[in-house]
Amino acid sequence: MSRREELVAEVMAVLHNYQQAFKTGTRDDIQAMVHLPVAYITEDDVQMRERYPFDPAKLREATGFHHGESTHEVLHIDETKAHVLINATRMRADNSPIEQIGAFYILQKRDGKWKIAAFSGVRTPAS
C-alpha cells in the first residue's frame, strides 16, 4: 500500500465514523471528529463555530432521515491536510430520498488525529 493510500484510508475511517454518527449518534459524537473552531461555509457567510452546527438527532426527527448513500473522492492529500468531495443522498427507512448534498470537506491532522476543520455543502431536494 502506498503512503497516499494509507492516508486516504485514515481519512475515510474518520468520514465513516462521521456518517455513522449522523445515522445514529449525537452532536457530541460528531463534535469529537471536528477541530474547533470549525469553519462552516453557508450560502452567504463563513462562520467559525465553537460547536458543530447540526444536531443529527434533530435532523432525523425533522426529516425522517434513516441512512445515506454517498461517494467520497479525496481530491488532494498530504501528511496533514485532505480535501474531500462528497456526494450524498439522505434517505428515509423505506429508501425514498429526502435530499441530495454535494459537499466539500477539509480535514487536518493535528496532534496525530484527523478531524474535520472546514466544510460546506449544497443541499437540493430529491428529484
Q: Are 14 and 116 in contact (CB under 8 A)?
A: yes
Residue range 11-16: mean pLDDT, rounded = 97
Rg (CA), the chain: 14
The domain locations on the chain are: 3-125
What pLDDT score does 3 carry? 97
pTM (two decimals): 0.93
pLDDT in tens, 66-105: 999 999 999 999 999 999 999 999 999 999 999 999 999 9
| Best CA proximity match to 89, nearest among 47, 52, 127 | 127
The yes or no reply on domain 3-125 and CATH 3.10.450.50 is: yes
pLDDT in tens, 20-75: 999 999 999 999 999 999 999 999 999 999 999 989 999 999 999 999 999 999 99
pLDDT in tens, 109-124: 999 999 999 999 999 9
